Amino acid sequence: MRRLFLSCLCLLLALPAWAGGNQDLGQLEKLAGLFLKRELGLREASWKLGRLDRRLVVPACDKPKAEWANPSETTGATAVSLSCPELGWALRLPVMVDEKRLGVALSRAVAPGEQLNAADIRMVEISNPALASNVLTDASQAVGQVMRSGAPAGAWLRGFMVRAPYLVRVNQQVKVLAQGDGFSAEAEGMAMSNAARGEQVNVRLANGRVVRGTVQEDGSVAVVF
């Protein structure tokens, strides 16, 4: 890959002057700056843009394009791709993006089984991402969730520490909504386990038959035949 990059670089350096003029590299850098301002303007981020090698020579482009070189890498050491689709050239401009990351932390000690509300959490800057693996990054991921285990005040709230609240509990009577090709029916049954909305649960019907369905928002169980 490095050999291919060097070969492409050599070709760019060796390009003759284009009849329509050469591309102003400074304009490309300004384009990259505008792109970053648009992309990062709503994020708490700062960036330091690199410079294009002034030895590079490419034909002037009427409509140059700026985009992330790798859309999955938009923070830290990354790059902006500057290209001209109609003329077939592309340049890579390095950029260092320093983004402020916030994580969800507990504002008080909580016990197993407690359901969290907005007062139980706070957003805290993650100064060391290496120590914040799996930390929730949005309050909406925590509010309304139930703690699987207890944790002290100030602890990071990680995904595995919470679960959705159960809408169906073991041995609870539930409504079963059965649907199939050309028919629908309702029945009552007993849940055989705990389950949250969207989870699968087995239900024993009055006739002893066990069916498996998906818990709905109202606590009913939808079974598709």
CATH number for position 136: 3.90.1210.10
Region 188-217: mean pLDDT is 95
pLDDT of residue 139: 94
Q: pLDDT tens across 63-82, in order?
A: 999 999 999 899 889 999 99
Q: Bigger pLDDT: 131 or 87?
A: 87
Q: What are phi and psi of 12, to 5 degrees?
A: -65, -40
How far is residue 143's CA from residue 132's CA, in Å, rounded to a whole number? 19
Both 12 and 55 in one domain: the answer is yes
Residues 60 and 84 in one domain: yes
* pTM, entire model: 0.56
Indicate which CATH number applies to the domain containing 180.
Answer: 2.30.30.760
Residues 14 and 37 in one domain: yes
CB 64, CB 31: distance < 8 Å:
yes
Distance CA 94, CA 48 (A): 9
pLDDT tens readout for residues 136-164: 989 999 999 999 999 999 999 999 999 99
Task: Find the domain containing 155 and state its range.
Answer: 106-163
Q: What is the pLDDT of residues 87-109, one digit of tens each?
A: 999 999 999 998 778 899 999 99
Select from 148, 189, 179, 142 the least CA-distant residue to 166. Answer: 148
